[in-house]
Amino acid sequence: MKFALPWFLILASQILSALPSSKELKIGTTQEFETLNPVIAQMSATRYINAMTNRALAQLDPDGKWYPQLAQTIPSFENKLAQFNPDKTKIIATWNLKPKATWGDGTPVTCADLEFTRQVATAPTVTVGEKEIYESVEKIEWKSETPKKCIFTYRKATYDYYQLATFFVLPAHIEKAVFEQYKAQNQGYEKNTLFVKNPSLPGLSNGPYQVSEVKLGSHVVLIPNPHFYGKTPQIQKIVVKLIPNSTTLEANLRSGNIDKISPMGLSFDQALAFEKKIKLENLPYKIVFRTGCTYEHIDFNLDNPILKDKKVRQALTYGLNRQELVQALFENKQKVAVHNISPMDKFWFIADPKIITLYPFNRAKAESLLDEAGWKLNGSGVRAKDGQKLSLALMTTAGNKQRETVQTFIQDQWKKLGIEVVIRNEPARVMFSESMKKRTYPALAMYAWVSAPDILPRSNLYSKNIPSEKNGYSGQNFPGWNNSEVDRLLDLTREEQDPKKRQKNVHDLLKIYTDELPVLPLFYRADIAVIPENLKNFRLTGHQFYETYFVENWEL
Phi, psi (degrees; rounded to nearest 5) at 180: -60, -35
d(CA 255, CA 485): 54
End-to-end CA distance of the chain: 36
**Sign of the dihedral through C-alpha 33, 38, 44, 45:** positive
CB-neighbour burial class of residue 295 (10 A; exposed 0-12, middle 13-18, buried 19+): buried
CB 375 within 8 A of CB 312: yes
pLDDT at 12: 41
CB 342 within 8 A of CB 349: yes
pLDDT at 7: 41
d(CA 367, CA 112): 60
In 3D space, the residue among 162, 185, 173, 182 whose CA is nearest the CA of residue 75 turns out to be: 162
pLDDT at 43: 84
d(CA 304, CA 444): 9
Q: Residue 238: left if φ>0, alpha if ψ -120 to 50, beta else—which one?
A: beta
d(CA 479, CA 302): 6
In 3D space, the residue among 190, 108, 205, 119 whose CA is nearest the CA of residue 149 turns out to be: 108
d(CA 212, CA 322): 44
How many CB atoms are located within 10 Å of the residue 91 CB?
22
Q: What angle do CA 165, 171, 176 make, to 5 degrees?
A: 120
CB 225 within 8 A of CB 208: yes
Does residue 388 sit in helix, strand or coil? strand
In 3D space, the residue among 504, 505, 454, 463 whose CA is nearest the CA of residue 481 turns out to be: 463
pLDDT at 63: 85
CB 400 within 8 A of CB 30: yes
pLDDT at 18: 67
Residues 6+ apart with CB under 8 A from 128: 39, 40, 121, 134, 472, 474
d(CA 74, CA 81): 8
DSSP string covering 484-501, please? HHHHHHHHHHHT---HHH
d(CA 245, CA 398): 8
> pLDDT 10s digit of each residue in the chain, 556 long?
444 544 444 444 444 446 899 999 999 999 888 889 999 998 888 999 999 999 999 999 988 899 999 999 999 999 999 999 999 999 999 999 999 999 999 999 999 999 999 999 999 999 898 888 999 999 999 999 999 999 999 999 999 999 999 999 999 999 999 999 999 999 899 999 999 999 999 999 999 999 999 998 899 999 999 999 999 999 999 999 999 888 899 999 999 999 999 998 888 888 988 999 999 999 999 999 887 888 899 999 999 999 999 999 999 999 999 999 999 988 888 899 999 998 888 889 999 999 999 999 999 999 999 999 999 998 889 999 999 999 999 999 998 888 999 999 999 999 999 999 999 999 888 998 899 999 999 999 999 988 888 888 998 999 999 999 888 888 899 999 999 999 999 999 988 989 999 999 999 999 999 999 999 999 998 889 999 999 999 999 988 889 999 999 999 9
Phi, psi (degrees; rounded to nearest 5) at 222: -120, 140
- As separate numbers, helices (DSSP H) first and strands (DSSP E) second, the chain gives 17, 19
pLDDT at 1: 45
Pairing state of beta strands 238-242 and 25-29? parallel
d(CA 525, CA 513): 20
DSSP string covering 431-469, please? IIIIIITTT---SEEEEEEE--TT---HHHHSGGGS--T
Q: Taking the model in full, what pTM does it have?
A: 0.76
Residues 6+ apart with CB under 8 A from 18: 256, 284
Does residue 331 sit in helix, strand or coil? coil
How many CB atoms are located within 10 Å of the residue 388 CB?
11
Domains in the chain, ordered, with CATH? Answer: 18-33+196-290+527-553 (3.40.190.10), 55-178 (3.90.76.10), 292-526 (3.10.105.10)
CA 63 to chain centre: 18
Phi, psi (degrees; rounded to nearest 5) at 294: -95, 125
Does residue 123 sit in helix, strand or coil? coil
